Amino acid sequence: MLRAVKLNREYTITDADIANFVANGYDIMDGDKIIKHGAGKMVAHQTYQDTIDEKTELEAQVKKLTEKNSELEAQVKKLEAAAKKKE
């Protein structure tokens, strides 16, 4: 069952109605899952900026952790080689 939802309005629709409701800003939902977002939606500038800042921070963390992972993999290889020499 498809539903068109916008603010406090909700309509049960068919596949043929999807394009019209999306053009009018309604989200199209199938159960609890949004399958299409309504046209004309905007995000507040502060929310956008917060998201960009968080993305930048997370990318820096990924880079740092990737470098740390490479260092740890190198240490593991050295320890494995040392262990093989002792055998």
Taking only the tens of pLDDT, the chain with its 87 residues reads 899 999 999 999 999 999 999 999 999 999 999 999 999 988 899 999 999 999 999 999 999 999 999 999 999 999 999 998 887
The pLDDT of residue 65 is 98
**46 and 84 part of one domain:** yes
The pLDDT of residue 42 is 87
**15 and 53 part of one domain:** no
Q: How many domains does the chain have?
A: 2
**Edge-first strand listing for the sheet containing 9-13:** 9-13, 2-6, 27-30, 33-36
**54 and 29 part of one domain:** no
The pLDDT of residue 87 is 76
For 69, the domain range is 42-87
The pLDDT of residue 85 is 87
The separation between the first and the last C-alpha atoms of the chain, rounded to the nearest angstrom, is: 66
Does this model's pTM top 0.85? My answer is: no
